[in-house]
C-alpha cells in the first residue's frame, strides 16, 4: 500500500521538485506502513517524505533520517516574505526536537510555492494532531 502512496506523492510533486531518484523514494515507500501526505524537496540535497506520524529525510546517497512527531516540540513551515517584483524569499521547514535544537531545511525557490506551502502546512498540522492525540 505504501508504495502506491509514494507513487501518488511523487506524481503530485511538480516536475522539477524532486532531487532524489524516484527509485530511492520508492524503496522508502516499500518500507512504510500507512499514508504519505507529500514530499518536500530541500536545497540540502534531500527530499522530506511527510507522513501522518513522522518526517523522513531521504538523502542523495541513500541516507535516511527520521523525526517522529512524538519526539519533537514543533514542526514549523516558514513562508518567507514576498519580494517586491514577484516571487518569495527563502521558504523553510523547521523541526524542533525535544532536546532544544533546531533542524532547518531550506526549500527551493524554483519549485511551485503553492505546492511547498500545501505540503509544509500538512506537516505542521500532522505534528499538532499527533501531539493532541498523545495527550
Using one digit for the tens of pLDDT, what is the confidence trace for 96-122? 999 999 999 999 888 888 899 999 999
The residue whose grid cell reads 498540522 is 125
Name the pTM for this structure. Answer: 0.88
What's the total number of domains in the chain?
1
C-alpha cell at 119: 505540503
Give me the sign of the Cα torsion angle 56, 59, 62, 65.
Answer: negative
pLDDT tens digits, one per residue of 16-58: 677 666 788 888 888 888 889 999 999 888 899 999 999 999 9
Element (H, E) at 25: helix 22-31
> What Å distances lie between residue 108 and 13, 49, 79, CA to CA?
13, 15, 12
Domain that holds residue 72: 2-133
Residue 32 belongs to domain with CATH number: 2.30.29.30
Q: How far apart are CA 129 and CA 114, in angstroms?
A: 22
Rg (CA), the chain: 14
Amino acid at each position: 500500500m505504501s508504495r502506491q502512496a509514494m507513487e501518488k506523492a511523487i506524481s503530485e510533486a511538480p516536475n522539477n521538485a524532486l532531487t532524489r531518484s524516484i527509485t530511492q523514494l520508492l524503496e522508502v515507500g516499500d518500507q512504510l506502513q500507512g499514508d504519505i501526505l507529500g514530499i518536500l524537496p530541500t536545497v540540502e540535497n534531500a527530499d522530506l517524505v511527510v507522513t501522518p506520524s513522522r518526517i523522513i529525510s531521504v538523502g542523495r546517497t541513500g541516507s535516511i533520517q527520521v523525526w517522529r512527531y512524538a519526539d519533537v516540540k514543533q514542526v514549523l513551515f516558514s513562508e518567507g516574505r514576498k519580494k517586491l517584483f514577484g516571487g518569495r524569499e527563502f521558504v523553510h521547514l523547521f523541526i524542533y526536537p525535544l532536546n532544544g535544537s533546531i533542524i532547518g531545511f531550506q526549500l527551493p525557490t524554483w519549485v511551485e510555492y503553492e505546492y511547498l506551502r500545501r505540503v509544509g502546512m500538512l506537516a505542521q498540522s500532522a505534528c499538532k494532531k499527533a501531539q493532541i492525540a498523545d495527550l
